[in-house]
Structure 1
Amino acid sequence: MKFVADLHVHTIASGHAYSTVLEVARAAADKGLELIALTDHGPSMPGGPHPYHFGNLAAIPAELFGVRILKGVEANVIDREGTLDLEDTRLAKLDIVLAGLHTVCSPYGTVAENTLMMINAMKNPWVDIIVHPGNPEYPVDEEAVVKAAVEQDVVIEINNSSLTVSRKGSRPHCDHIAALAKAYGAKIMLGSDSHLALSVGNFGEAVELLYNHDIGPEQVINTSVDRIYEHLNRRHRNRN
């Protein structure tokens, strides 16, 4: 399966990542990617950027080293109502919005509370992708989450970092979510969750889960640039 884009990439702006915009763009070009999304954390993450950072992403060209650049955020869910840590007026101006539950930023809860928090975040009209839903720190009703993703037309991520260097214990949850995504027809995205340019475009462990469940490229948005834009434009947003 060929992947044309990495839609979950961090730079030094996140406060705990280690490469610049130019470094990650060059790495993407070297790996033959056509597109990347810059998705630094929202401001509630310790060391994360000020909200002004996201407005100033306009300073970054739309293409670097032949790679198209989407300007986005990995917003942090900050309460059980699914509130994100970047206001809607800023989200509306971004090319892509990822949202996820994160230690320090998101309250811990029961399976029912975590599930409601994640589904509430999906209901935000600006959210395009829910990231690392298999994180065992925030156990959820995985079937309810996948069904809600289909209902809300939100992509579910299979996060390669969760299967390699972070969020230990994620694999069985990610595997189950992949099986459910196949069963319910949920849109999927493989993300590197790169915090160092060397890992941009690394999907190897996540790809195994696709093959295990016979998930084809037509269900995975980052196998096609057209499929990515079709998803991002699904609500006919005014992304000026």
Structure 2
Amino acid sequence: MLFEADLHTHTIASGHAYSTVKEMAAAAEKRGLKMIAITDHGLKMPGGPHEYYFGNLAALPRKIGGVEILRGVEANIIDTEGHLDLPERLLEELDIVLAGFHALTGFDGRSVEEYTRAVLAAIANPRVHLIVHPGNPEFPVDIEKLVLAAASEHKALEINNNSFSVSRQGSLPRCQLLAKLAQRHKVQVALNSDAHIFTSVGNFTRAWQVARSAGISEDQVMNKTVDRVKEYLGWHRRHREAVQEGRV
């Protein structure tokens, strides 16, 4: 199955990834993608980028070869109130904001209740577009509450291809549950590579197997086409502006 967009990729700016933006874009084009999001880690990730990096993302071209480039972040959820480790003024400038939990960012060893409270607060944040690798057993959340919150907030949830390889061991059963509940409640999903090197860009094979086994249709996959991604991001931008102006 061909997907046109990969919305979760990392470059050397993340500190533990190994390819440049140019290399990631070239690999994406070779694989047949039409869009990638550059979503390097937030400020609290060990070895991650400085605040200046995100402030200067405007330097990225909007297109490299035949691939559109989204300027983004994989921000860290850092407390039970769902706060992220990037200032609002920088979040405002980004095309796409992913949010998730990561070790060694100051929010380790909490309870299911605390992680659930944190992720529900993050999903309600109008700046956040996508909750990433929510099936990670290291940061256990109440999957059903998360899916219901995503339905209420019209947010997508990620099925992360990297969670079925060397990262986040034990994620498969929780991702399968998430996929089944997403299918039941008609919540959009994004199938992403979480590529940390150019050879992984656009690899959604395992993620699609999990989604398909749960009965998720192509219509529920938010990154199936570039147009669908733009429609999703545009809706959330307009909704956020309406909230700010008191129109909703």
SS of the residue 2:223 aligns to:
helix
Residue 108 of structure 1 aligns with an amino acid whose one-letter code is G
Could you tell me whether the CA contact under 8 Å between 1:79 and 1:107 is conserved in 2? no
Between the aligned partners of 1:33 and 1:50, the Cα distance in structure 2 is 29
Offset of 1:30 from its aligned partner? 0.5
For residue 21 of structure 1, report the CA deviation from its aligned partner: 0.5
CA distance in 2, matches of 1:185, 1:216: 10
The corresponding residue for 2:49 is 49
CA deviations over 1:83-118 (Å, ceiling 9, x no partner):
100011110110000000111113331111111111
| Counterpart code for 1:90 | L
Determine the structure 1 residue equivalent to 2:122: 121
Give deviations 1:159-214, integer Å, cap 9, x for gaps.
Answer: 00001120000000000000000001111000100001100000111111122112
Report SS of the residue matched to 1:99.
Answer: strand
Q: What secondary structure does 1:116 align onto? A: helix
TM-score (structure 2 length as normaliser):
0.94
Contact 1:5/1:225, CA 8 A, preserved across alignment: yes
The answer on whether the counterparts of 1:78 and 1:107 sit within 8 Å (CA) in structure 2 is no
* Aligned-pair CA distance for 1:57: 0.8
* Cα deviation digits, residues 212-236 of structure 1 (max 9, x gap): 1121111001101111011111131
Compute the displacement of 1:140 (Å). 1.1
Distance (Å, rounded) in 1 between the aligned partners of 2:214 and 2:225: 20
Partner of 1:102: 102
Give 2:147's aligned residue: 146
Structure 2 unaligned segments of length 5 or more: list them: 242-248
Structure 1 stretches lacking a partner, 5+ long? none
Letter matched to residue 60 of structure 1: L
Partner of 1:4: 4
1:74 and 2:74 correspond: yes
Taking the aligned partners of 1:190 and 1:207, their CA distance within structure 2 comes to: 7
CA shift, 1:69, in A, is 0.2
**CA distance in 2 between partners of 1:99 and 1:146 (Å):** 15
Matched residues in 2 for 1:108 and 1:183: separation? 31
Number of the residue aligned with 1:218: 219
Query: Which amino acid counterpart does residue 52 of structure 1 have in structure 2?
Result: Y
| C-alpha deviation, 1:55, in angstroms | 1.5
**One-letter amino acid of the structure 2 residue matched with residue 32 of structure 1:** G
Q: Is the 8 A contact 1:99 1:127 kept in 2?
A: yes
The aligned counterpart of 2:206 is 205
Partner of residue 193, structure 2: 192
After superposition, give the CA deviation of every residue in 1:61-95 in whole Å (9 maximum; x if it has no partner): 00001100000000011111111000111101100
The normalised TM-score by structure 1 is 0.97
| Counterpart residue type for residue 31 of structure 2 | K
**CA–CA separation in structure 2 for the residues paired with 1:5 and 1:216:** 17
Write the distance in 2 (CA, Å) between the matches of 1:78 and 1:104: 10
**Matches of 1:115 and 1:60 in 2, distance apart?**
35
Number of equivalent positions: 238
**Number of the residue aligned with 1:91:** 91
What is the rounded CA distance, in whole Å, between the counterparts of 2:149 and 2:168 in structure 1?
A: 23
Equivalence for 2:37: 37
Contact 2:180 2:215 in 1 (8 A): no
Report the Cα distance in structure 2 between the residues aligned to 1:200 and 1:9, rounded to whole angstroms. 7
RMSD across aligned positions (CA): 1.0
1:2 shift after superposition: 2.4
Q: 2: distance between equivalents of 1:21 and 1:224?
A: 21
